[in-house]
């Protein structure tokens, strides 16, 4: 009995092992991670079946889960059924060799359509970061992803993050005139327009607990003159996130605009100026120091602000005020000249945004840049001009003038 | 020779006419003291008196001024009822094309053109575009105030010879030929015009002969003696170079018309113009020679006043979307231009802190109000701006510059939800502190967005005397509870009850005269200055200070101001029952100072060197 049982056992075990190995081999050969892709609850069995059928009809091969979900996701996205699209793409892991990366892009797109901005941002950032892994992707898709990310950052008033993104876009030469302008003159453009507010409100309604959205909403309310609301939102944000410098800066700014007597107390509670201070906090520090007749403190704050944003009208204007208090006429004049030049540029930026192929406008901006010693910005504006009229002598002259003026002045942030 | 004789004859007739008027109105009783303080609503002003600058009377207090604000919880204004003859609706040819020309609308001039002691109203009018069609459907309009005891107007455009067609924008008033009768300069999208007051109730267009015609797009203008020769010169703000044939149209597919108004950034700026009065009946363009060389300025508002205490008028220009200009008057240059002394200006807006707002941004500046709103003896400026921008209060720092006090004054935040044009500081409730009226309304109908209103409620801010303002508009009468497309604004005591009334030029709706009924225990002094010798006869540039009171109470009769409009050439001081002052000190543009003690509430003519002459404006 024992003799009979042993070969049978070995036989059964062998069959089991062979089956297991064969199964593993099949999985890794056909769809290495297929087992981790599962139909999400939001997709019904019928929808899944229809998707599978459609895929197989289209590609004449058997569809696995990832095939079906990717197919369904794109289908839902094209029909504006974003919730279902998100569910489909969410089920596809980034590591999936065929669909992983595009799933992030399309999920980001779907989430943005649902106004779930923080999640959309996460997906888009992940997608962009994967570029090295799959460089063969259509560059237009990458550009589109960056544009969508730019939109999110612009709406959320995250100028620091926006600058980093635009830096990348400009470095790659993928910038259109809009990006070049926002990159060079991020704070000269009106940011509190009704459309931007509308977008942010939609973002906020989708994720009211998000700190960055709360801070942005508070800033927009400030920009709309709805200061009571702004202070309430920002107070709550600071209470929940007492260490967040951006929230604190936005609150102080709202209180300043409301002429709130408790604003100085809040400023006094600020940690000392640091290299990681957000732009708004530096502006708030400088402005408050002017109010308190402490021009040295204001100079320090505005100087750091200028290091981070050379075309900050607020900083140059504030610096002029600070030097006036210090009685330093030379520095005052220099700062005020710069502020006024930026004011003139501001006027032409509006035109450049609305008429992006108007050569004269870009030449005019680069001319004022030259006057104001904003060489890097001038160069970028001539780059825009050159795209409009590559052989135009005025463009070439402008480039030459900028190069001659001060090649060393070129900011390391901006490529030649 | 015949011309000269005719001219002399007509001048003599005018002098006689004026003399008769003064004799009718003025009863002189030298140095008579007023023992009672009249309430501001009292219609009849008692017997007239001269308050001489030679008076040796003790500096006793006869009139009271408060150092803190009164107790008004609201202001009260009522619209002049229809049927009172002031019937004017501006035509801007608004018909869905959203051309840039349609945006700024028009202004208003409030002045006593016939010297009958009552303020008359002039409105510049628009026309169909393009202008080459030369339609004559709508004319500029002059309304004469004909009621002795109240307010009743009569359209006298035709009889006054003021019928004129074109796309007119603004008006400014001043006596350019020193004949005592105020003349009228009318700006335009196109050809501006100068209307000489003949002194007999009629006007004559003398733009060509005086070389004052500006052919670009002029908006606000200001008469002011820039070179100290006693004659009024002219500064004209230029806006943008935009053709109407064909007009530039900007597309906005989502809008009902498929268009939107093109931003002024899409148009090149046109230069401001500075013209010096030669005294020989003509003006000389000294723009470049005088240093009026600001670049890219798109001027909409202008005010000429002394901002740095050197007694020379400076020029502030509110530019739309570009840094504002402050031309500081440095005095006359050595060389002459023709027969005229040429003043030298330096553009120092950045240095004075008024080129940009406190955040360093060039705002879409429209109009500008002036006044010593914090009673420190220096003129402050209030600039109106675009929707979602804050209007800017520039507080004068003792003549060395300005600081943006928009937030500290609490004037900034409420203005983000409006788009403002005309603005005037005025002491509505006679507490001694200047309150503020702001006309509002969008440049185009974007209400289809659901985000931006077209018509808007105006602002009426009360100055609390502690540096803060509160908008009391909603409690100040039905007008302020309605929404309008407000543009130019002018102030003056139209009904001669001692307080300041408002005229607001509208787009779309009829323009309105708002009569001030605000109850107040305070009273007022209204002064019509008359200069002589080296001060302009219109009194523009004169400054009156109530001495012996803290904080100081000061008014300056400036050139221009508001938006495309001209307020009455009269100074108004609100008097509170509390506090007191010693005397009124009038400093004339030529440096002469008249000191007048014992001034009580009432209406006065101030003749340079002769003190105040009290008059009964209701006789």
- Mean pLDDT across chain A: 90
Verify whether the Cβ–Cβ distance A312 to B322 is below 8 Å: no
Which candidate in B252, B360, B363, B457 is best for mutational testing of the A interface (most A CBs within 10 A)?
B360
Confidence of residue B64 (pLDDT cuts 50, 70, 90): very low
pLDDT of residue B275: 98
Per-residue confidence band for A19, with pLDDT thresholds at 50, 70 and 90: low
Answer yes or no: do A194 and B356 touch at CB < 8 A. no
Q: Do B323 and A344 touch (CB under 8 A)?
A: yes
pLDDT tens readout for residues A185-216: 998 988 888 899 999 999 999 999 999 999 99
B358 touches chain A (CB under 8 A): yes
pLDDT of residue B22: 40
Query: Which chain A residues have a beta carbon less than 8 Å from that of B295?
Result: 344
Using a CB–CB cutoff of 8 Å, tell me whether B361 touches chain A: yes
- Closest CA in chain A for residue B406: A257
Tell me the pTM.
0.89
Mean pLDDT of chain B: 88
CB A16 within 8 A of CB A37: no
Residue B616 pLDDT level (bands cut at 50, 70, 90): confident
Place of tokens 């018509």: B455
Closest CA of chain A from B35, distance in Å: 44
pLDDT in tens, B446-466: 999 998 999 999 999 999 999
Cβ under 8 Å to B: A residues 316-375: 316-318, 320-321, 324, 332-333, 336-337, 339-340, 342-344, 346-351, 354-355
Reported as a single tens digit per residue, the pLDDT across A332-388 is: 999 999 999 999 999 999 999 999 999 999 999 999 999 999 999 999 999 999 999
Flag whether residue B346 sits within 8 Å of chain A, measured between CB atoms.
no
- In this complex, is the C-beta atom of A36 within 8 Å of any C-beta atom belonging to chain B? no
Place of tokens 């203005």: B415
Q: Which long-range contacts (CB under 8 A, 24 or more apart) does A379-388 make?
A: A379/A403, A379/A410, A379/A414, A379/A416, A380/A170, A380/A180, A380/A183, A380/A184, A380/A414, A381/A180, A381/A184, A383/A180, A384/A177, A384/A180, A384/A181, A384/A352, A384/A356, A385/A359, A387/A177, A388/A357, A388/A358, A388/A359, A388/A362
Please tell me the predicted confidence (pLDDT) of residue A189.
87
Instruction: Locate the chain B residue with the closest alpha carbon to A195.
Output: B451
pLDDT tens profile B160-170: 999 999 999 99
Give A-chain residues touching B451 at CB under 8 angstroms: 194-195, 197-198
Asked if B313 and B304 count as a contact pair (C-beta separation under 8 A), the reply is yes
Q: With bands split at pLDDT 50, 70 and 90, how would you rate the model's confidence at B533?
A: confident
Rounded average pLDDT over B425-432: 96
pLDDT the model gives residue B48: 42
Q: Do B418 and B459 contact (CB within 8 A), yes or no?
A: yes
CATH architecture for the domain at A2-155: Alpha Horseshoe (1.25)
Q: For the segment B292-338, what is each residue's pLDDT rounded down to a tens digit?
A: 998 899 999 999 999 999 999 999 999 999 999 999 999 998 665 55
Averaged pLDDT, B575-591: 89
Residues of chain A in contact with residue B359, where contact means CB-CB under 8 angstroms, are 313-314, 317
Query: CA B176 to CA B174: how far, in whole Å?
Result: 6
- For B384-394, the pLDDT digits (tens) are 999 999 999 99
For B481-506, how does the pLDDT look when each residue is reduced to its tens digit (9 = 90+)? Answer: 999 999 999 999 999 999 999 999 99
B249 touches chain A (CB under 8 A): no
B241 in contact with chain A, both atoms CB, cutoff 8 A: no
Q: What one-character-per-residue DSSP string does B62-122 give?
A: -S---SS----S---EEEPPTTSS---B-----SSS--GGGSS----EEE-TT-SSS-EEE
CB atoms within 10 A of CB B467: 15
| Contact between B250 and A193 using a beta-carbon 8 Å cutoff | no
> Which of A:142-201 have CB within 8 Å of B?
188, 190, 192-195, 197-198
Please report the number of interchain residue pairs, chain A to chain B, with beta-carbon separation below 8 angstroms. 109
Residue position matching structure tokens 């006094």 = A268
Report which of B271, B189, B171, B277 is spatially closest to residue B231, judged by C-alpha positions: B277
Is the ipTM of this structure higher than 0.90?
Answer: no
- pLDDT score, position B2: 41
The per-residue pLDDT for B37 is: 27
Query: Considering only CB atoms, which chain A residues are within 8 Å of B414?
Result: 225
Residues of B in contact with A312 (CB under 8 A): 360
- pLDDT of the residue at B499: 96
User: Which among A340, A348, A364, A372 is the top mutation candidate for probing chain B, defined by the most B β-carbons within 10 Å of its own β-carbon?
Assistant: A340
Residue of A227, A312, A343 with shortest CB distance to B356: A343
Query: Do A313 and B415 lie within an 8 Å CB cutoff?
Result: no
Q: How far apart are CA A223 and CA B512, in angstroms?
A: 32
Q: Which of A247, A261, A191 is nearest to A218 (CA)?
A: A247
Q: pLDDT confidence of B147, banded at 50, 70, 90? A: confident
Q: Best interface-test mutation with B: which of A187, A256, A346, A362 has the largest number of B CBs within 10 A?
A: A346
The CA distance from B115 to B181, in Å, is 7
* Local confidence band at B248 (pLDDT 50, 70, 90 cut-offs): very high
CA distance A59 to chain B (A): 41
Q: Which residues of chain A are within 8 Å of residue B409 when distances are taken between CB atoms?
A: 259
pLDDT beyond 80 at B265: yes
Split at pLDDT 50, 70, 90, the class of B595 is: very high
CB-CB under 8 Å, B296 with A344:
yes
pLDDT category at B54 given cuts 50, 70, 90 is very low
Q: Within 13 Å, how many C-alpha atoms sit on residue A39's CB side?
A: 15
- The CATH superfamily label for domain A192-268 reads Tetratricopeptide repeat domain (1.25.40.10)
pLDDT tens readout for residues A42-94? 999 999 999 999 999 999 999 999 999 999 999 999 999 999 999 999 999 99
pLDDT at position B68 over 70: no
Separation CA A260–CA A248 (nearest Å):
15
- Substitution target in A259, A313, A331, A358 with the highest count of B β-carbons within 10 Å is A259
């Amino acid at each position: 009995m024992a003799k009979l049982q042993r070969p049978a056992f070995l036989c059964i075990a062998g069959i089991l092992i062979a089956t297991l190995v064969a199964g593993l081999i099949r999985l890794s050969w056909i769809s290495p991670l297929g087992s981790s892709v599962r139909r999400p609850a939001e997709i019904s069995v019928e929808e899944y079946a229809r998707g599978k059928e459609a895929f197989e009809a289209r590609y004449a091969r058997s569809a696995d889960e990832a095939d079906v979900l990717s197919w369904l996701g794109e289908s839902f996205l094209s029909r504006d059924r974003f919730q279902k699209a998100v569910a489909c793409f969410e089920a596809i892991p980034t590591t999936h060799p065929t669909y992983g990366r595009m799933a992030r892009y399309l999920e980001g797109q779907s989430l943005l359509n649902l106004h779930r901005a923080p999640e959309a941002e996460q997906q888009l950032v992940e997608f962009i970061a994967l570029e090295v892994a799959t460089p063969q992707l259509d560059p237009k898709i990458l550009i589109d992803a960056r544009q969508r990310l730019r939109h999110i950052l612009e709406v959320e008033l995250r100028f620091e993050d926006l600058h980093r993104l635009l830096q990348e876009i400009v470095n790659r030469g993928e910038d259109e005139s809009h990006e070049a302008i926002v990159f060079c003159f991020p704070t000269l453009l009106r940011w509190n327009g009704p459309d931007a507010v509308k977008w942010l409100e939609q973002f906020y309604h989708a994720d009211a607990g998000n700190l960055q959205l709360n801070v942005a909403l508070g800033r927009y309310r400030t920009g709309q003159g709805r200061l009571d609301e702004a202070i309430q939102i920002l107070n709550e944000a600071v209470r929940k996130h007492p260490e967040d410098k951006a929230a604190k800066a936005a609150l102080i700014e709202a209180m300043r605009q409301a002429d709130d007597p408790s604003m100085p107390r809040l400023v006094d509670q600020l940690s000392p100026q640091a290299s990681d201070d957000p732009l708004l906090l530096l502006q708030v520090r400088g402005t408050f120091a002017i109010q308190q007749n402490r021009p040295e403190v204001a100079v320090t704050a505005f100087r750091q602000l200028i290091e981070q944003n050379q075309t900050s009208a607020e900083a140059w204007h504030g610096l002029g005020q600070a030097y006036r208090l210090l009685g330093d006429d030379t520095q005052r004049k220099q700062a005020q000249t710069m502020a006024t030049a930026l004011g003139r540029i501001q006027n032409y930026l509006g035109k450049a945004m609305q008429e992006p192929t108007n050569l004269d406008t870009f030449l005019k901006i680069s001319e004022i840049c030259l006057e104001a010693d904003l060489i890097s910005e001038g160069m970028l504006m001539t780059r825009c001009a050159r795209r409009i009229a590559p052989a135009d002598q005025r463009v070439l002259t402008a480039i030459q003038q900028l190069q001659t003026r001060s090649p060393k002045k070129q900011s390391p942030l901006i490529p030649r | 020779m015949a011309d000269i004789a005719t001219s002399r004859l007509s001048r003599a007739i005018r002098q006689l006419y004026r003399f008769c008027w003064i004799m009718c109105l003025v009863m002189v009783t030298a140095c008579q003291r007023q023992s009672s303080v009249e309430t501001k609503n009292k219609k009849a002003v008692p017997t007239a008196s001269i308050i001489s600058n030679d008076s040796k009377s003790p500096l006793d207090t006869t009139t009271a001024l408060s150092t803190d604000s009164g107790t008004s919880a609201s202001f009260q204004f009522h619209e002049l009822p229809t049927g009172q003859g002031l019937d004017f609706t501006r035509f801007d040819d608004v018909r869905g094309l959203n051309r840039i020309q349609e945006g700024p609308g028009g202004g208003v001039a409030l002045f006593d053109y016939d010297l009958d002691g009552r303020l008359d109203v002039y409105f510049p009018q628009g026309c169909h575009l393009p202008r080459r069609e030369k339609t004559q459907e709508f004319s500029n309009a002059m309304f004469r105030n004909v009621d002795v005891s109240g307010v009743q107007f009569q359209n006298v455009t035709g009889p006054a010879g003021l019928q004129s067609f074109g796309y007119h924008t603004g008006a400014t008033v001043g006596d350019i030929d020193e004949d005592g009768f105020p003349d009228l300069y009318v700006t335009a999208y196109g050809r501006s015009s100068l209307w000489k007051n003949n002194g007999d109730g009629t006007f004559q267009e003398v733009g060509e002969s005086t070389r004052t015609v500006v052919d670009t797009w002029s908006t606000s203008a200001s008469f002011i003696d820039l070179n100290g020769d006693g004659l009024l010169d002219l500064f004209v703000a230029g806006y943008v170079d935009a053709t109407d044939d064909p007009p530039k149209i900007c597309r906005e597919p989502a809008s009902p018309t498929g268009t939107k108004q093109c931003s002024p950034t899409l148009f090149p700026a046109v230069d401001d113009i500075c013209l010096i009065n030669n005294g020989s009946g003509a003006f000389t363009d000294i723009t470049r020679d005088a240093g009026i060389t600001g670049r890219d300025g798109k001027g909409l508002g202008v005010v000429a006043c002394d901002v740095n205490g050197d007694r020379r008028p400076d020029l502030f220009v509110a530019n739309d979307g570009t840094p504002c200009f402050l031309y500081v008057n440095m005095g006359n240059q050595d060389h002459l231009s023709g027969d005229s002394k040429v003043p030298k200006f330096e553009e120092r807006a950045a240095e004075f802190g008024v080129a940009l707002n406190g955040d360093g941004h060039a705002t879409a500046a429209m109009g500008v109000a002036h006044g010593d709103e914090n009673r420190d003896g220096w003129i402050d400026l209030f600039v109106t701006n675009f929707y979602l921008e804050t209007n800017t209060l520039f507080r004068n720092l003792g003549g060395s510059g300005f600081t943006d006090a928009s937030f500290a004054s609490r004037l900034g935040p409420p203005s983000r939800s409006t788009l403002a044009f005309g603005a005037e500081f005025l002491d509505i409730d006679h507490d001694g502190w200047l309150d503020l009226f702001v006309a509002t309304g969008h440049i185009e109908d974007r209400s289809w967005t659901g985000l931006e209103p077209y018509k808007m409620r105006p602002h009426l801010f009360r100055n609390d005397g502690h540096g803060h303002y509160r908008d009391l508009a909603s409690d100040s009468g039905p007008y302020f509870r309605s929404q309008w497309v407000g543009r130019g604004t002018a102030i003056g005591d139209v009904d001669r009850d001692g307080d300041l009334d408002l005229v607001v030029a509208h787009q779309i709706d009829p323009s309105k005269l708002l009569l001030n009924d605000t109850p107040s225990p305070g009273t007022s002094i209204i002064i019509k200055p008359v200069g002589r010798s080296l001060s302009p006869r219109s009194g523009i540039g004169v400054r009156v200070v109530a001495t012996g009171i803290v904080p100081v109470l000061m008014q300056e009769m400036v050139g221009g101001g508001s938006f495309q409009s001209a307020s009455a050439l009269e100074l108004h001081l609100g008097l509170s029952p509390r506090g007191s002052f010693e005397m009124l000190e009038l400093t004339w543009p030529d440096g002469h100072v008249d000191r007048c003690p014992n001034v009580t509430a009432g209406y006065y003519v101030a003749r340079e060197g002769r003190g105040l002459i009290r008059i009964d404006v209701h006789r």
